[in-house]
Structure 1
């Protein structure tokens, strides 16, 4: 599959997932939404069930053949319900097409439905003059299912066809607007916190084997996505572009300038066993260079705190030693060999005179102690690989999932 066709496939999946999210946001609290049920999306209420099939053909014109198979499958399902005496359900075809919508005549008539959607030809093997051959045979699905014209009329009343569904971008905008309204947030938060979390929820549901585990309600969905952490959704980032995604994160959280507030900033980042000490030191230097002010003219000087998750004590000592030997003055709150953590020693203000450029935090327990002692405004920026490793909501705490440790270079 080429990169372009891969992107098109991903957009198609996103469009379906976005429609699912939109239907959840538009549902009432008594409805249950099933992902990949009878159709792509099932909307189940106490008094009715609606099965929704969703298609996205941004580059293709509408033709009857595009929705012919889905309609036939829906009719088969309808016939099965009639045969078993089960309550019938409603069906909804929802799709976006480049053009050609005028080809479909609505509302459907029974004859129009039969001719354009329920009649098909199929090559079948026959024996003629003792030899095998193939012959095109015409099939009429409604006859094969034993459905009368009255049955077809009832089916038409249960079927809604929308081939003028909004574009990918317009549907997404509608989702963002609803999320902004519900969570009282801006567009960046709606997209990168709540929508991104929503995508993960729907994607996880779609992979469940048992249909009983693929359902969700609006209250539970909103509860699950109500988390302020940036998830690295590989589908979303691949579609949007990794560089663009990180630029947006940087623009919203890590723009520095002459008027950067002198807050106590804590940078917590996770490393992999394969990450070299050189790369870890490079990240620390970037944090130090961008998030410290130690000039003689600076009244409110400051420098950042750093905690490195999943780095062994030996490697952490190596990092400190090498940075110190390279001329970086640092503090870690341990003033002599065998000493206990001295919080006051660590939180002393960095100045041009003492030259403290970076403050290391050795453990999450130490981090708790330090945060409890600091009265000044403070901010935590946590970068995790799989799962966030620290929770503290006593101050601004931004949680950002990354793919690789070195991705920090493009964010901070």
Structure 2
């Protein structure tokens, strides 16, 4: 992955870590808004609103005042429109090389930002009304130079422990789930849905007993440990014979899907659907069109796996799709089944999965499965992982690279 991409992802993770710190240090009933209306993080208490903008400049060699002109101008604009509201503005930014005596960001910096001739800042300069009271704004403004990415993650882990999370649960359970919860909040459309309190955050966090596997948690430096932890957690249900399992897979969000999907299904069948006791035919539901489904069917057939797609002629029939396969015993008592897999297009007939509930639903990739009825269903979400990693966490492979 290019270093610039690394820094972009770390920038988001840095903000999520700062958000976690604000939540964990808040009063129980303070309201924290992730991606607020004013800034990246907003903490609302009875006394005031603290609006925090978070910037991560790891790619910079050192601090330059011009790097913070844009957020300063944005804050000045908001201040000019809300001077009677009790708002504290915080610019929280990380720059390499800033030591114990950080540079001053004061009135002179504000004046320089307003006088900037940078074309990319022109609209922001213009948005600030002439004659704005910089002294008044400076009284409400704080510049904080944040620690390194590694250091802020340590601080969040320490704060989780200070809030009662068992030390053994922090690295592979509480911390990644905290980051995942904040990332999930950040993309909700309604600002009200992006709000949380410390009390609720900790309550939700302690109730979760599985490690979130997502593009954000797998971008953490503990990726290997998270995969190992998830593998152990999934083993509890995967070791049970009579479980009906559905897989909803989004090919577009899995980088090695085309080369690995058939190998994944083959290995899964070989491990979890070969005994006489394995009586529940799994369903593979792909976010793909029928032509793509048929291609997968043919590739599976070449590997000795027969999959039914529920079509009778040109028509899909639910009853035919859900029929039980004819079976017999072959040489050595090996089970021979009419088919060992049901395969379905999510786009065409995904809702038919509601007609017969499964025991385990595996949502792999970034699939939107809100239309499925998951009441009394064990739902396992695995996003951000490669198919090789999915094979590893599901126990069909002992390696993931």
TM-score, normalisation: structure 1: 0.60
Where do 5+ consecutive residues of structure 1 fail to align?
A: 124-136, 256-262, 290-303, 331-362, 368-380
- The residue number in structure 2 matching 1:271 is 247
Deviation at 1:185, TM superposition (A): 3.3
Per-residue CA deviations over 1:84-142 (Å, capped at 9, x if unaligned) read xx223111111111125689643x654x245443322267xxxxxxxxxxxxx9x9889
Match of 2:22 in 1: 23
RMSD value, Cα: 4.7
Q: Cα distance 1:143–1:15, how it changes in 2: closer, same or farther (>3 A)?
A: closer
Question: Which residue of structure 2 lines up, in the alignment, with residue 120 of structure 1?
Answer: 116
What does residue 199 of structure 2 align with? 219
Counterpart selection for 1:310 from 283, 289, 293: 283
8 A contact 1:384–1:399 mirrored in 2? yes
| Shift in Å, 1:8 | 1.6
**Does 1:177 find its partner at 2:127?**
no
Are 2:383 and 1:409 equivalent residues in the alignment? no
Say whether the 8 Å CA contact 2:261–2:387 is kept in structure 1: no
User: 1:279/1:204 Cα in 2 relative to 1: closer, same or farther (>3 Å)?
Assistant: closer
Q: Deviations over 1:359-393 (max 9, x none)?
A: xxxx989x8xxxxxxxxxxxxx985546796869x
1:166 to 126, 134, 147: 147
Q: Distance in 2 between matches of 1:410 and 1:306?
A: 24
Q: Deviations over 1:224-243 (max 9, x none)?
A: 33311233312332555976
Q: Partner of 2:35 in structure 1?
A: 36
Contact 2:63 2:95 in 1 (8 A): yes
Q: Map 1:143-222; keep pairs closer than 5 Å.
A: 144-147=129-132, 151-163=133-145, 165-182=146-163, 184-187=165-168, 189-222=169-202
* Residue of structure 1 in register with 2:67 after alignment: 66
The aligned counterpart of 1:99 is: 97
Q: 1:63 to 1:288 in 2, by over 3 A?
A: same
Name the CA distance, whole Å, in 2 between partners of 1:122 and 1:287: 62
> 2:30–2:197: 8 Å Cα contact kept in structure 1?
yes
Distance 1:224 1:184, change over 3 A: closer
Match of 1:51 in 2: 51
> Which 10-residue stretch deviates more, 38-47 or 217-226?
217-226
Out of 219, 227, 231, the position equivalent to 2:212 is: 231
The number of equivalent residue pairs is 317
CA contact (8 A) 2:42 2:51 kept: yes
Contact 1:270 1:383 in 2 (8 A): yes
Q: CA deviation at 1:57?
A: 1.3
Following the alignment from structure 2 to structure 1, what is the Cα–Cα distance between the partners of residues 264 and 238?
A: 24
Query: SS where residue 93 of structure 1 aligns?
Result: strand
How many angstroms apart in 1 are the aligned matches of 2:98 and 2:164? 38
How far apart are the structure 1 equivalents of 2:233 and 2:30?
37
Residue 120 of structure 1 aligns to a residue whose secondary structure is: coil
Distance in 1 (CA, whole Å) between partners of 2:270 and 2:230 is 20
Instruction: Say whether the 8 Å CA contact 2:361–2:379 is kept in structure 1.
Output: yes
Question: Secondary structure, in 3 states, of the residue corresponding to 1:58?
Answer: coil
Larger Cα-atom Rg? 1
Change (3 A) 1:309 1:87: same
Using a 3 Å threshold, how does the CA distance of structure 1 residues 154 and 141 change in structure 2: closer, same or farther? farther
What per-residue deviation string (whole Å, max 9, x for no partner) do you get for residues 257-281 of structure 1? Answer: xxxxxx9942755435999898545
Greater share of strand: 1
Please give the alpha-carbon distance, in whole angstroms, between the structure 1 residues aligned to 2:279 and 2:58. Answer: 47
Aligned partners of 1:382 and 1:186: how far apart in 2? 31
TM-score (normalised: structure 2): 0.62
Question: In structure 2, what is the equivalent of residue 79 of structure 1?
Answer: 80
Distance change in 2, residues 1:315/1:103 (3 Å): same
Alignment partner, residue 296 of structure 2:
none
Cα 1:224–1:328 change in 2 (3 A) is farther
Quick check: 166-175 or 23-32, which moved more? 166-175
